[in-house]
Amino acid sequence: MKKFAIPLIYRSNLISRIKKIREMSDPRKKDYSPTLLDFGPVDFLIARHFGFCYGVENAIEISYRAIEENTGKRIFLLSEMIHNPEVNGDLLDRGVRFICDTKGNQIIGWNELEKNDIVIIPAFGTTVEIQRKLDEIGITTLKYDTTCPFVEKVWNRAASLGKNGFTVIVHGKHKHEETRATFSHSKEDAPTVIVRNIDEAAILGKCILGEISVDEFMEFFKNRISPDFNPSVHLDKVGVVNQTTMLATETEAIAEYLRNIMILKYGAGKIKEHFADTRDTLCYATHDNQRATVSLLGQNADIAVVVGGYNSSNTSHIVELCEEVLPTYFISGSDKITDYGSIRHYNFHNSTERETKDFIPVKDKVRIILTSGASCPDAVVEEVLKKLLGLFKGTRAINEVADEYERNK
């Protein structure tokens, strides 16, 4: 796989070293078991896969190259490069300006841009409408388009589905940048509707089977369907694609549910005429991270600490998996952990941050699960590990533990 030129500020001594050891011993990524690091009074169970994925590293490399190659020019990002405060903050510090916020609200007007400006397309991609605006201004974005290749794969499959007469069902959060972009591209070629979860997919199923009215469907999915969408016509042939950061298992469940609905209505013998198999569009990195998290949760641990941006969809899904099993703390960085043993952590269900005191269990040997989202730098994860280590007395040195792990691997 391609290696990217990532700024050293995002690398780390311990975490990057552990990843390299795992990569060398398991190049085909068949082993999802976690890494166990024994520091004496505390063990860390570190996920096999976490942190920067291919798409994120590609986006970071292109963004920093854009800065290096355009000294003296105005450089803009359509919105946050990725959902990580460290990365976005550093880009802002280097003079990059955001045109929109993550919800699509305008920060800088289109009339303020000039054709000689540099505009970077973020990893989520952008909508057809925004791309047309940039084209009208005369801004060329091809050189600094960081759209994730796996997002583009989803767009291409949606276009293919449309050309073959299928309606596209997008599994995603309709306000998320990636889903907005995917919806925009998909509706160019196909009737398109966005569903958030299996419950919303069930509304589609009821409409397909005639159990709810067209009016009920239109009211429920308003603002999440393409123009001129007609459920009486457009739900006889469907295919499912997803926002790549959603839970892969949930996308698969939605697809399987709709497949069974089509079998129920049209019969198993005609399923290929009414349901498209799109399993190969699932993002491998999201799948790997989620499978690694499930493997983590098979271990005996006391708490889980998940690191990442609070608006990161893939990180929130990792938190969701962890909190079903054990106490889980979702933090953006080491500054959320105090020296006196409390932690400020984020509840993504209600978008609030709260403080929990004495979150470390009192016992002779504590086991902590540690992982992060796909947009979180290794350096941030290592800072969190060090801050957690500082809450224990008599811990072994990091280099000693790393050397021991490498010898035994």
CB 215 within 8 A of CB 203: no
CB 41 within 8 A of CB 83: no
**Which residue, among 342, 337, 404, has the nearest Cα to 43 in the 3D structure?**
404
Task: Name 38's bridge partners.
Answer: 43
CB 119 within 8 A of CB 141: yes
- Rounded CA-CA distance 124/314 in Å is 12
- Rounded CA-CA distance 373/245 in Å is 10
- Rounded CA-CA distance 375/317 in Å is 13
Task: Name 345's bridge partners.
Answer: 354
**Which residue, among 303, 293, 181, 161, has the nearest Cα to 234 in the 3D structure?**
161
Q: Which residues contact 404 (CB under 8 A, 6 or more apart)?
A: 38
Residue with structure tokens 């889903």?
179
Cβ neighbours of 328 (radius 10 Å): 18
CB 52 within 8 A of CB 285: no
Q: Which residues contact 123 (CB under 8 A, 6 or more apart)?
A: 55, 56, 58, 59, 81, 82, 146, 147, 148, 151
Active site residue 353: no
CB 357 within 8 A of CB 388: no
Task: Spot the catalytic one: 178, 320, 382, 383.
Answer: 178
Virtual torsion, Cα 353, 357, 359, 361, nearest 10 deg: -170
- The residues carrying an active-site annotation are 178
